Amino acid sequence: MTVRIEVLGPVRVLVDGTVVPLRGLARTLLAGLSSRAGDMVPVPVLVRWLWSGGPPPRKPRQAVHALVHRLREVVGDLLRTTPGGYVLAADADSLDLAGFRRLVTESERHEAAGRTADAGTCLDDALALWQSSAFVDVDSDTFRHDEAEPLNAERIAAARRWANLRLQLGLLDGVAPELTRLVREHPSGRRLHELLITVLLRSGRRAEALAEYDRLGVPSPGLRALLDEQGTAAEVPRQLPSAIPHFVGRSAELRRLAELAAGPATVVVEGTAGVGKTALAVTFAHRSAEKYPGGQIFLNLRGYEPDAALDATSALLVLLHSIGVPGDTVPAAVDERVALWRARTAYRRLLVILDNVRDRELLAPLLPGPGCTTLVTTRDRQAGPGLAMVTVEPMPPGDGVRLLSRILGEERVTHDPEAGRRFVARCAGLPLAIRILSENAGLHPGLSLRDFLGALDGPDDLTAFAVDDDPAADLRSVFAHSYRALDQDTARLFRLLGLHPGVDFTARAAAALAGIEDATAQRRLSQLTAAHLVEEPEPGRFRFHDLLRAYAKDLCGQQDTAAERDAATGRLLDWFLAATAEAGALLLPHRRVHLATITTTARPPALADLTQAREWCRAEYPNLLAAIRLAAATARHRYAWQLPWALQSYLLNQTLLHDGLAVHDLALTAARHLGDQRAQAWILTCRGFLYTYLLDDRRALDSHRGALDLRRAVGDRMLEGESLLNLALVHQRTGEQDQALRDCLGALAIARELGLRYAELACLSTLAGIEIALGRYAGALGHLHESIAIQDKLQDRHHDGLRLTNLGLATAGLGKLDESAGWLRRAVEAFRDNDESFEESSRLVLLGEVHRRRGAGEAAQACFDRARRLVGELVDQQVITPAKAARWFDEAMALFGPGTA
């Protein structure tokens, strides 16, 4: 009997490769003995851990003995009784914790001897043993304090050493994702957080480094110096996937790429599926990074996935975002996006990899401006003027055997060279097939390569799928062999993942799709990753090779019933909806009451704050767009309208306005299919907000009027009031203050009729702004004092900056300049605290003007200078356009009402 115990994450016991369930006290007992493996753990210590937070049983020693007896039935002779306690006699082969500590010790010996690379390799292997925090599912506060927390500290110390070694060696691939995961698990680890920022800066990922810097709070002087040192460097995109492990051969192709890409060029890398085109392009890009100071961009166009391929409009949006163009400045028309993309990239010496391009027509609009280099990977020959070609053929036998040796180990392959050549031939020389089948062979270390190959040629071998003139077609038989090695439940998950419409997925999404627990999905994804049937390019996010996605989807169509497929898709959409609503309520808290009307059976992710909500939406955004398109295409009308509605908070928060209009068009069609007038009104309201952000006031008014008509038709007074307020805000923007006043008074009457205090608060604040615009300052102050009284009762601070601004403007209009300066100073602080730099800059202008009128010239000039610096920084960071900056001062001054100059 072979026993393997895992505690670096959830506590698990595998007996002969099969997980044996442990629950409650038995799990805690095993955790306690494992934490001190090889040493005697006294019974009193075990009692304290087992019955943490409560009284022990009347006869604790007998209770522990009974638990030991049950546990010994699982782990056998590894659990031994000694005078006074018990010992778990587990070594590095039977306990992952022992393996971790042995590898850390070996790394220290290598480092002391100056063998830095070997030390780093040991730490690579040591950290790979961790799945999450140690003993994560053990329910004992005392045990966590005594053992889990110190062990987690060992992991962090090892990770810091590992990251520092990688920094010394200049090998930064994969370091930032690992440190990010640890920082999120242990947010109080300041030194770890500073190390992550250092790695991000050294990797050229300054924007991410600044975001982490902001989260950190007060950094060390050394980190501030490093940030200042890096601050003068131009920010460039560094978006390549991680370096390809075990890359072998292709020297002629790499030389040819270097020749063709010596100057600005468009180079097409073509070859059959699975031949290694992307690996070649990514490897070339990593090795040539210094030749492209403008940065590197990688975009998978998914051209061979019919349901997921990007069109030019969507691809250009991604490309423009990658070079820092804000969402609200991206034009809607594709021709205008092309022009902006080429203008912003011209002469930047940028390398762009366009992966999986199927249609030549798509290529032209995505090419960057002059002075840049583009690599295009495709299965189809894309010959044409100005295009250079590199053809990637299947691997020669020698290179294929070298790749096999790297993965399986030299000894096993050199023992039977002929079997190695047959192995490569069996994979048609395709690196993807060699990697997958090698992983399979690795699961059978007792078989020689010759015997393993013999086992492939059984009666259920899928060689019928092979096509003589298409070596890639034989991949199906390789995939099938790996698939057949999966247990039934993991195979089911693999098939269902073929239904996922997005770019990548998490364990939680997989759990929703399959209708299983998150931890179960994580274990099965780990098995699929080990079999190379899915990839994990960054911690916690998984994806398919496009061929494997197609294979999984095909299997799902054959082996799972239509009802099972429909149920799985429904569960996934339900989970997306629950999670998006949860995130949306954090991004815009005043929408929580409306988003609560969404009903799902899914459990959303535990998002603690606005930052986590924004990060979840950013990571899932491409998948959410794909889910909306899937819902619309498959007539799942409820999801097709509720998903865009829930996503609205993020769309507005990140000014993803054109995407927002596109998905809300789908949503409106779905709501009309359902005949749901309330839903139609919600979607029209969302469209009104999007058009307002785009400064398209006519369409914004049309949308809000349509929503108002529908809400009146269904007799929903509360939402009728909301639509009137929305119309008032647009009319106020367009200068139609009298109409704005009528709409806002109507909304206020409804709010008071229904006792809606938050709505009343919003109406009073808006009325104050309208009165200021009309020059009626005393009336504005009256509305503001009413709103402040309500605000204090509700303890609402959401719109403090706006109310303080209006107080400053109203008192300035009445000539109370000292009081006005006080209000505006507080408005500046409110927007600064919310990190709203543009709003802060306009309030500084207002404050400066009030100081000027007071005769405080130096204070006025300090405000104006600070405001100009802020706006200049926002232009440099491409948060606002130069055109908007040019209008900024006049727009701020226009906030003063008439007659106050």
pLDDT of residue 778: 92
Please report which confidence band the pLDDT of residue 604 belongs to, taking 50, 70 and 90 as the band edges: confident
Which of 391, 412, 427 finishes a domain? 391
Which range marks the domain in which residue 428 is found?
397-484
Tell me whether residue 589 is in a domain.
no
Question: Residue 382, CB half-sphere, CA atoms under 13 Å: how many?
Answer: 27
23 and 133 belong to one structural domain:
yes
Q: Please tell me whether residues 261 and 387 are part of one structural domain.
A: yes
Rounded mean pLDDT, 4-8: 93
Q: Are the C-beta atoms of 148 and 132 separated by less than 8 Å?
A: no
Counted domains in the chain? 4
Structure tokens at 829: 């602080």
Give the confidence band of 211 by pLDDT, cuts at 50, 70, 90. low
pLDDT at 204: 57
DSSP letters spanning 301-312: --TT-TTT---H
Q: Is 91 among the domain residues?
A: yes
| Same domain membership, residue 384 and residue 407 | no
Instruction: Summarize pLDDT for 654-701 with one digit per residue, the tens.
Output: 778 888 899 999 999 999 999 999 999 999 999 999 888 777 889 999
- What lies within 8 Å, CB to CB, of 885 at 6+ separation is 871, 872, 874, 875
761 contacts 748 by C-beta, under 8 angstroms: no
Say if CB 748 and CB 766 are below 8 A apart: no
In this structure, is residue 701 part of a structural domain? no
Does one domain contain both 321 and 269? yes
**Final residue of a structural domain among 434, 465, 484:** 484
- What does the pLDDT look like over 190-203, one tens digit per residue? 677 778 877 776 66
Our measurement of the distance from residue 218's CA atom to the centroid of its chain's CA atoms, rounded to an integer in Å, reads: 26
pLDDT confidence of residue 891: 67
Please report whether residue 165 resides in a domain. Answer: yes
Contact 513, 576 (CB under 8 A): no
| Structure confidence by residue, pLDDT tens digits, 72-130 | 989 998 999 988 899 999 999 999 999 999 999 999 898 888 788 888 889 989 998 99
Please report whether residue 724 resides in a domain.
Answer: no
The DSSP secondary structure of 700-715, one letter per residue, reads HHHHHHHHHHHHHHTT
CA distance 116 to 868: 49
CB 521 within 8 A of CB 572: no
Higher-confidence residue of 8 and 187: namely 8
Residue 369: pLDDT band with limits 50, 70, 90: confident
Q: Which one of 432, 452, 484 terminates a domain?
A: 484
What is the torsion angle, in degrees rounded to the nearest 10, for the CA atoms of residue 117, residue 149, residue 524 and residue 539? Answer: -50
Please report whether residue 657 resides in a domain.
Answer: no
Give me the pLDDT at residue 470, please.
Answer: 43
If pLDDT is split at 50, 70 and 90, which confidence band does 650 have?
confident
Least reliable range by pLDDT among 59-63, 455-459, 843-847? 455-459
Query: Looking at the structure, do residues 299 and 154 belong to the same domain, yes or no?
Result: no
Asked if residue 432 is part of any domain, the answer here is: yes
- pLDDT higher than threshold 80 for residue 829: yes
3-state secondary structure 484-540: HCCCHHHHHHHHHHCCCCCCCECHHHHHHHHCCCHHHHHHHHHHHHHCCCCEEEECC
Q: Residue 22: which pLDDT band, with cuts at 50, 70 and 90?
A: confident
Q: What is the pLDDT of residues 464-490, one digit of tens each?
A: 223 334 444 456 766 776 788 789 999
Mean pLDDT for 153-179 is 79
Residues 6+ apart with CB under 8 A from 177: 538, 539
Give the domain CATH number at 335.
3.40.50.300
pLDDT in the model for residue 171? 67
Domain co-membership, 129 together with 61: yes
Inside any domain, residue 849 = yes
Does residue 16 share a domain with residue 164?
yes
Same structural domain for residues 367 and 301? yes
Confidence at residue 340, expressed as pLDDT on a 0 to 100 scale: 85
Is residue 821 predicted with pLDDT exceeding 90?
A: yes
337 and 459 both lie in a single domain: no
Residues 35 and 107 in one domain: yes
Ranges assigned E (strand) in 782-855? none
- Mean pLDDT for the chain overall: 83
- How far apart (Å, rounded) are the C-alpha atoms in residues 131 and 124? 13
As a whole number of angstroms, the distance between CA 345 and CA 364 comes to: 15
Residues 327 and 427 in one domain: no
Q: Domain check: are 87 and 111 in the same one?
A: yes
**Residue 112 belongs to domain with CATH number:** 1.10.10.10
Say which amino acid occupies 101: R
